Amino acid sequence: MRGAGSRAASRVASERLRALPSVEELASSLGGVPHRAAVRAARTAIDEARAAILEGRSAPDPAARARRLVVDATRPSLRRVLNATGVIVHTNLGRAPLPDEAVAAVLELASGYSNLEYDLEAGARGSRQAHVEELARELTGAEAALVVNNCAAAVLLAAAALAGGRELIVSRGQLVEIGGSFRIPEVVAQSGARLREIGTTNRTRLSDYEAAVGLETGAILRAHQSNFRTVGFVEEVEIEQLCSLPVPVIDDVGSGALAERVPELAEEPVVRRSVAAGAAVVCFSGDKLLGGPQAGLMVGRADAIAHCRSHPLARAVRVDKLSLAALEAVLRLYRDERLEAIPVLRMLTAGQVELRERAERMRSLVSGARVLDDVARVGGGSLPLLELPGPVCAVDPGPVGVDELARRLRRATPPVIGRAREGWLLLDPRTLTDAEAEEAARAASAALR
């Protein structure tokens, strides 16, 4: 019996294999698709169906699968998503969304030529840094400023320019990993500086720095513990004390909290304070709490910034024109005290009434959804202890299941990314605009069907 059954199964499989269309036949049925893309999709769909048949599984319809592959292949890989996670500076989702003013600046600059490195007044070559340096100086009180492509590049350049070939002193408690498995010692090693560790993981005193400073000292590096906190029996040296020592200080303050009157940012180091203390170079990010594009800002003493500007690495890590356009627009918003126009700060300080109204609107569009209380986060390695309580729209996945519902939402147009909790899929209104919240809710309702 077993042999007869095996032969019957083999005959069925053979018949199913013979019924598969040829690659050319299936490609020709995908009308309006470039030939190469149609052939690629047809071949993949047929290969998948053939493998399923040979393994005794149910094979997907090759025509339907090929059409889906064509759709996937013809849309951009990098595209807009709706962030319903409640994580404001979500590294995987592109960190800070740009203000409208920054988007407009990028669009205008991207559509043609610009005076990126051309002095319109003198009619001669200019510097790309001129477009943002004065704004950065005004906002931080620094003598000079320089912008590179991210904060890690800023630290690398500062270390190379001020301590290359010499010692760079750093507290053991600040040898942090900054994400993506990149660590401060590894970044510093590329600068040519020799790292000299002092103190302990939890306690470093001014006397530790004083004992370490010598003829081989190039600079001191202070790195903010942006993505974690050490609590309990701890001690660290304030920036004013560090700057009293007879060597340059590089202060990596991390997330770029320029908005000094926002209570939620109280635990972040203030850039202006480090500048006033006399730090040679203060480094911070443009795309985290600053709310702008990916960039590394370097502000501080004129002599130190000049060393950084003239170092060969400055060319390798320079910022591009589109990031400069966006950054200039964002810095203008700070100068004009229009913080409400910066999405990251708006999300960070959103009121409960606004959030509940948005959550209730989402609930009304999704059958069986409820409004629950939960906690949002800042993310992006910023303010790791800060919790942002607020309402969320909790979607009951029913028989679909939370994992399948999340998968369907990821395949929506645009994709919607939420977070799971106790069998619910949560859509957090804090990281959505009113229009995006409605889009996300309608996508969830469709996914449940």
Residue 6 in domain = no
- Return the CATH number at 235: 3.40.640.10
Q: Are 84 and 440 in contact (CB under 8 A)?
A: yes
Domain boundary, last residue among 283, 317, 338: 338
- Return the CATH number at 362: 3.90.1150.180
The mean pLDDT values, 10 residues at a time, for the chain of 449 residues are 62 85 92 89 94 87 91 88 97 96 97 96 96 98 97 95 96 78 80 93 91 96 76 84 97 88 87 96 96 97 98 96 98 97 97 98 97 94 89 96 97 96 96 98 96
CA angle 104, 109, 111 (to 5 degrees): 100
pLDDT of residue 1: 44
Residue 169 in domain = yes
Domain boundary, last residue among 338, 360, 378: 338
Considering the domain architecture, whether residues 210 and 121 belong to the same structural domain is answered as yes
Considering the domain architecture, whether residues 181 and 156 belong to the same structural domain is answered as yes
- Per-residue pLDDT of 306-333, as tens digits, reads 999 999 999 999 999 999 999 999 999 9
pLDDT of residue 181: 60
Length of the chain in terms of residues written: 449
Considering the domain architecture, whether residues 86 and 143 belong to the same structural domain is answered as no
Considering the domain architecture, whether residues 316 and 356 belong to the same structural domain is answered as no
Residue 3 in domain = no
Distance CA 283, CA 223 (A): 9
Considering the domain architecture, whether residues 323 and 350 belong to the same structural domain is answered as no
Distance CA 343, CA 378 (A): 12
Considering the domain architecture, whether residues 146 and 222 belong to the same structural domain is answered as yes
* pTM score, whole prediction: 0.89
Report the number of distinct structural domains present in the chain. 3
Considering the domain architecture, whether residues 136 and 87 belong to the same structural domain is answered as no
Residue 19 CB burial class (10 angstroms; 0-12, 13-18, ≥19): exposed
pLDDT of residue 228: 62
Residue 226 in domain = yes
Residue 324 in domain = yes
Considering the domain architecture, whether residues 258 and 350 belong to the same structural domain is answered as no
Considering the domain architecture, whether residues 189 and 256 belong to the same structural domain is answered as yes
Considering the domain architecture, whether residues 150 and 281 belong to the same structural domain is answered as yes
Considering the domain architecture, whether residues 116 and 205 belong to the same structural domain is answered as yes
Cis check: omega of the bond before 263, within 30 degrees of 0: no
SS (H, E, C) the chain: CHHHHHHHHHHHHHHHHHHCCCHHHHHHHCCCCCHHHHHHHHHHHHHHHHHHHHCCCCCCCHHHHHHHHHHHHHCCCCCCCEECCCECCCHHHCCCCCCHHHHHHHHHHHCCCCCCCEECCCCEECCCCHHHHHHHHHHHCCCEEEEECCHHHHHHHHHHHHHCCCEEEEEHHHCCECCCCCEHHHHHHCCCCEEEEECCCCECCHHHHHHHCCCCEEEEEEECCCCCCCCCCCECCCHHHHCCCCCCEEEEEECCCCCCCCHHHCCCCCHHHHHHHCCCEEEEECCCCCCCCCCEEEEECHHHHHHHHHCCHHHHCECCHHHHHHHHHHHHHHHCCCHHHCHHHHHHCCCHHHHHHHHHHHHHHCCCCEEEEEEEECECCECCCCCEEEEEEEECCHHHCHHHHHHHHHCCCCCEECEEECCEEEECHHHCCHHHHHHHHHHHHHHHC
| Residues spanned by the domain of 167 | 100-338
- Per-residue pLDDT of 162-191, as tens digits, reads 999 999 999 998 887 766 666 788 888 899
Considering the domain architecture, whether residues 279 and 399 belong to the same structural domain is answered as no
Domain boundary, last residue among 297, 315, 338: 338
pLDDT of residue 197: 94
Q: Are 63 and 49 in contact (CB under 8 A)?
A: no
251: phi > 0 → left, psi -120 to 50 → alpha, else beta; which? beta
Site of tokens 């409640």: 86
Among candidate residues 302, 237, 316, the one with its CA nearest the CA of residue 269: 237
pLDDT of residue 417: 98
Residue 2 in domain = no
